[in-house]
C-alpha cells in the first residue's frame, strides 16, 4: 500500500528502474489492469489521448523502445494521501540517427490498492513533435 511520501517514492523508483531496464512487463505490475492513461498535449493540456488498460499502455511504451534508447528519473514528487504528483526528467536517443531529446513532463497519479489506476501525463507537445518529425526523416 502507498500511505506515505516514502511509499510513493519507492513505488516510482521501482517503476522507473523497470522502465530504464527496458522491462515493460515488470513495470506494468505496478499498474491496475484497467489503467486509464491520459496523455495531455497542447497548451494547458487542451487536447489529450486516452488509452485504456495496462496492456495498451505497455504496447504504447514499447513503440518508443523499439526505436529509441529512453531513460527517465523522478525529479520531484509530492504525495497528499490521494494523488502522487511528479516531474519526470527524461532523455530519448533515436537509434537510427542519434537525435537526442532531453526534457521533462509532469504526472498526476491516482492509486487503487497500492497500484496506479489512472495516470495523467502533461508533455511539451511541440518539442516532442519536432523531435519525432526530425527523427523520422
pLDDT digits (tens, 9 = 90+) for 79-104: 999 999 999 999 999 999 999 999 99
Q: Report how far residue 20's alpha carbon sits from residue 35's, in angstroms, rounded to the nearest whole number.
A: 21
| Distance from the first to the final alpha carbon of the chain | 45
In this model, does residue 56 exceed pLDDT 90?
A: yes
Spatial distance between the Cα atoms of 115 and 118, rounded to a whole number of angstroms: 9
Q: Is the pLDDT of residue 64 over 80?
A: yes
User: Could you tell me the residue range of the domain that residue 89 belongs to?
Assistant: 5-135
The CATH number of residue 10's host domain is 3.10.450.50
pLDDT (0 to 100) of residue 114: 94
State what percent of residues in the chain have pLDDT above 90: 81
CA 45 → CA 57, 59, 60, 107, 124, distances in Å? 19, 23, 19, 12, 9
Task: State residue 68's pLDDT score.
Answer: 95
Q: What is the pLDDT of residue 130?
A: 83
| pLDDT tier, 128 (very low <50, low <70, confident <90, very high otherwise) | confident
Give the pairing type, strands 83-94 and 68-79.
antiparallel
Predicted confidence at residue 48, as pLDDT, reads 83
Task: Report H helices in the chain.
Answer: 5-20, 24-28, 54-65, 125-135
- Our count of domains for the chain comes to 1
Beta-strand relationship, 31-41 and 47-52: antiparallel
User: How far is the C-alpha of 37 from the C-alpha of 67, rounded, in Å?
Assistant: 22
Amino acid at each position: 500500500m502507498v500511505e506515505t511520501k516514502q511509499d510513493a517514492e519507492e513505488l516510482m523508483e521501482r517503476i522507473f528502474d523497470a522502465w530504464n531496464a527496458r522491462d515493460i512487463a515488470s513495470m506494468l505490475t505496478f499498474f491496475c489492469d484497467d489503467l486509464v492513461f491520459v496523455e495531455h498535449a497542447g497548451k494547458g493540456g487542451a487536447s489529450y489521448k486516452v488509452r485504456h488498460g495496462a496492456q495498451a499502455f505497455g504496447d504504447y511504451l514499447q513503440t518508443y523502445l523499439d526505436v529509441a534508447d529512453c531513460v527517465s528519473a523522478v525529479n520531484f514528487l509530492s504525495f497528499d494521501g490521494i494523488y502522487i504528483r511528479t516531474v519526470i526528467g527524461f532523455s530519448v536517443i533515436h537509434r537510427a540517427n542519434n537525435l537526442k531529446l532531453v526534457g521533462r513532463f509532469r504526472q498526476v497519479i491516482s492509486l487503487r490498492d497500492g497500484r496506479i489506476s489512472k495516470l495523467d501525463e502533461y508533455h511539451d507537445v511541440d518539442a516532442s513533435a519536432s523531435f519525432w518529425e526530425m527523427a523520422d526523416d
